[in-house]
Every structure is written in structure tokens, then in C-alpha cells.
Structure 1
Amino acid sequence: MNFAQLISDVLSVITISFCLFLKVPQIKSIIKLKSAKGINIYGLAMELMSYSTTATYNFINGYALLSYLEYPIIIVQEYVLIFLVLYYQDLLQRKTAIFALIYGLVFLGFLVKVLPSGVVTLILPLCTPISLSSKAVQLWEILKHMNADSVSVTSWVISALTNASRIYTVLMDSADLILLSNLTLSTIMSGSIALISYVLQNRSKARKE
């Protein structure tokens, strides 16, 4: 194993380790405040679709598990986060369950190859605008209310750092241009949300004092 590949593997392990707790600070914040104000459910849904599509694409193309293991880990946390936001925003309805069922069946179909895998390859380029849109919607929600009290800065900092580290590991593993462009832009957006949330939370604390 050469040195560059060793660095890639180490970064992969670090990235996956961080992602074990990526959404946990956000989940804890919502539970503690019993509020999901400032968090946009549509942004979370788009984020989930992006994560699910990317994980499925990596799986069906046989890429090294170490290069994308964080996605399944994040997806599980995303399920919990979406449920909490739906609950605290009184959005748990029958149509929500129907959408969840359709989502589950479609992606299961791709994973077991009942549905044509070529479709995932076709829709993967959409993950970049979807991912950016989900973050843009979240950023807009924060700026619209000028309130980031329910937003976890830690989660967004981890997101930015893990996306940045993945740029290197993807370069070493597959050099997939679609994945690289998605990761680069996601790093910028996650960093922006973290910075703005940090500034707004500090202002909020200063006013209370």
C-alpha cells in the first residue's frame, strides 16, 4: 500500500467516525428545546434523497465500502431527525407515511436490482443541485427568521469537514467527477450554514445577557 492510499484510508476511517455523530447534536438540540424552529423539513427531505441516491450509486457500482460507509450511517440519523422535525412541527400525517413507503420501496428496488441501476446513474447528477438546494433552503429558513437556536453548529461543521476529506478519498478511489463536484459544493454550503448559525446564536446569547 502506498502512502497516498494510506492517507486516503485513514481519512475514510476518520470521516466515518465523525459521521457516527453527525446528526446527534442536532437531534439532541431539538429534543432539549422541544422545538424544530428554524429547521426546514423540505430541506431535510431533499438531503435524504441526495444521501440515499449517492449511497445507492456507490453500492451498485461496487465502489469500496470504506469510501461511502458514512452515507448509510447518516441516513439512519436523518430518519430520526426527520421524524422529530415532523413531530414538533405537527406534520405527522397519512400522506407522510405514504411518501415514506414509496421512498423505501423505490430505493430497495434499486439495491436488489429489481429496478434498472442505470436510472440511478442518470439521476445522480441531480444530487448536486438537490444537495445544494436542501442546504440553500435551510440557509434561507435561518435567514428568514434570523434565528438559528435549534440549529446545531457542530453538525454543520462536521458536515463541512467530512465532505472536504471525502474529496481526497474519492480522488484516490474512483476520481468520479460527479461525486467530486457534489462534495466540493456541499463543503462550501455546509461551511456557510455553520458560520451564519454561529454568528446568529452568539447574537442571541448577547441579547439575553
Structure 2
Amino acid sequence: MAAIFKQLCLLVLTHDCFDQFFVEFNFLHVPCLKAAISKCLGLAIVGGAFLVKVPQIVKIIAAKSGEGISITGTVLELTAILVNVAYNFVNGYPFSSYGDGVFLLIQTAIIGALVYHYGGSTGSAIAFFATVTILTGLLSSGFVALKILWILQACNIPVVFAGKMIQALANYRNSSTGQLSAITVAMLFLGSMARIFTSIQETGDQIIILTYCVATFANGVIMAQLLYYWNVPVKTKKA
């Protein structure tokens, strides 16, 4: 039983921190406390990301419409997620520091494909999903130099901001958030905010930390709009 307990603890603790907590009973060891909180938070974010955009996907399918969702904003967001996942993977950072990006990548690709599909172009939907799959494999394979991935990650900052602001502008023009899911928007906002802390603890990579700071601000704007336009339908367009 003790061996099983230790193995479970080592999922979130280093051997040194395990000794600090359960051998020396030093439960106030600050570096280990911060590392443990970061690891647990990171794993929680990864677990939450497994379903974070499912409400959005369900809402689009139920309405059979991607009305109110900016495909340009979705593509920019998808690009940012893809580069972030590839950069973290190639750098060998812990999965708990970027695993949520893997699930967000898959789900955002599905959303983009659905927008194309319900927009009347199933062929474009298939091509869109296939392109995302190919690019993911290429960037994560190590074929692209790490220096180039770093540059792409740096470019993620304006891409993340632009993607969200395009969606925010679409919301403003429609005076509504359309088919945006409140659950998804809230989870993205809280997740990106938590990622600032976990990135500081687990990677210390300044470019990743800055990216999440910008993402938190941008997600906060969308969150504020969703609250402001609550229950306001998409504008009806006259012929």
C-alpha cells in the first residue's frame, strides 16, 4: 500500500519533494508546495480541456449552424494552439504544461470543420481538418528547427490577440455572441489564467508565459461580451 501511495504521489511530486512531505514531514516547504500546486493545476487543466469545447461543438450541431462564429478567428486561434503544442512538444516540456493544447487543437479543428460544413461546404470542411492534421504532424516531428518554432511561438502573441479580437468584433457587430458557449468561454478564460502560473513553475519560458498573459486578456474580453450580450439573439439580416 505504501509503495502504491508513493507511486501516486510521484505523479505530481519529485522524489525530493516526496521526502520533504512524507519523510521529513515538512509540509510548508515552499518550493515543493508551489511545484505540487502547479503540477496538480496543470493536470486539472489538461483534464478539463478534454471536454472544454464540447459544449460549443454540441451547440453548433444542435443549431445546425455556425452563425456568430468567426471562421477567421477560429483559424487564427487554431494556428496559435498548433504552434504552442509543437513548440512545447519539441522542447520536451512536461505534458502537464501543454497537454490541454492537444485537446483544444482537436476540438477547435472540429469546430472549424463544422462551421464550413453547416456553411454549405462539406468538401472544405474535410480539407480543413486534413490540413490541420498534416501541419500538426509536420511541426511536431522535429523536422522544423527549434529556432523557427521559437519564432512562430513569438508570432503567436499577435495571432492569439488578433484571433480573439476578430471574434470580439463579430460579436460587437452582431450585438450578440451567437452560438458561442458560455461554458466554453468561461473555461478558456480560467484555463489561460491558470496557465500563467503553471508555465512560470514548469517551463520558465518567457515567450510562453507572455503568450498566456495575452490569451487571458483576450479571453477576458470575450467573456465580458458574453455577459453583456446575454440572451441577445443574433441580428436578423434583411434581404
TM-score, normalising length: structure 1: 0.90
2:112 to 72, 82, 94: 82
Q: Does 1:131 align with 2:121?
A: no
Higher helix share: 1
**65, 82, 88: which one pairs with 1:35?**
65
Contact 2:109–2:129 (CA<8 Å) still a contact in 1?
no
Comparing 179-188 with 49-58, greater Cα deviation is found at 179-188
Q: Contact 2:113 / 2:126 at 8 angstroms: preserved in 1?
A: no
Q: How does 1:33-112 map to 2 (within 5 A)?
A: 33-93=63-123, 101-112=130-141
* Higher radius of gyration, 1 or 2: 2
Question: Which of 134, 137, 145 does residue 174 from structure 2 map onto?
Answer: 145
In structure 2, how many angstroms separate the alpha carbons of the residues matched to 1:49 and 1:150? 21
What amino acid is the match of 2:182?
Answer: V
2:151 alignment counterpart? 122
Aligned residues between the structures: 203
Take 1:5 and 1:159, find their aligned partners in 2: how far apart are those partners? 23
Structure 2: distance between partners of 1:5 and 1:199: 37
Question: Judging changes above 3 Å, is the alpha-carbon distance between structure 1 residues 203 and 56 closer, same or farther for their aligned structure 2 residues?
Answer: same
SS across alignment from 1:107: helix
CA contact (8 A) 2:83 2:139 kept: no
Task: Point out where structure 2 has 5 or more consecutive residues left out of the alignment.
Answer: 1-16, 18-31, 234-239
Which residue is equivalent to 2:224?
A: 195
The two structures, once aligned, show a CA RMSD in angstroms of: 1.8
Separation in 2 of the partners of 1:19 and 1:98? 25
Contact kept? 1:164, 1:187, Cα under 8 Å:
yes
Aligned partner (choices 40, 52, 68) of residue 10 of structure 1: 40
Alpha-carbon separation, structure 1, partners of 2:147 and 2:224? 38
Contact 1:43 1:138 in 2 (8 A): yes
Tell me the CA shift for residue 102 of structure 1: 4.8
Q: Which runs of 5+ in 1 are unaligned?
A: 205-209
1:75 partner letter? L
Aligned twin of 2:13 = none
Amino acid at match of 1:173: E
Q: Which runs of 4+ in 1 moved over 4 A?
A: 96-103
**Partner amino acid, structure 2, of 1:88:** Y
Return the alpha-carbon distance in structure 1 between the equivalents of residues 106 and 138 of structure 2. 18
Percent of aligned pairs sharing the same letter: 22
Q: CA 1:117/1:100 → structure 2, altered by over 3 Å: closer, same or farther?
A: farther
Q: Contact 1:110 / 1:117 at 8 angstroms: preserved in 2? A: no
Cα distance in 1 between the residues matched to 2:167 and 2:65: 16
Distance 1:199 1:186, change over 3 A: same
Give the Cα–Cα distance (whole angstroms) in 1 for the partners of residues 165 and 121 of structure 2: 21
Structure with greater contact order relative to length (CA < 8 Å, sep ≥ 6) = 1
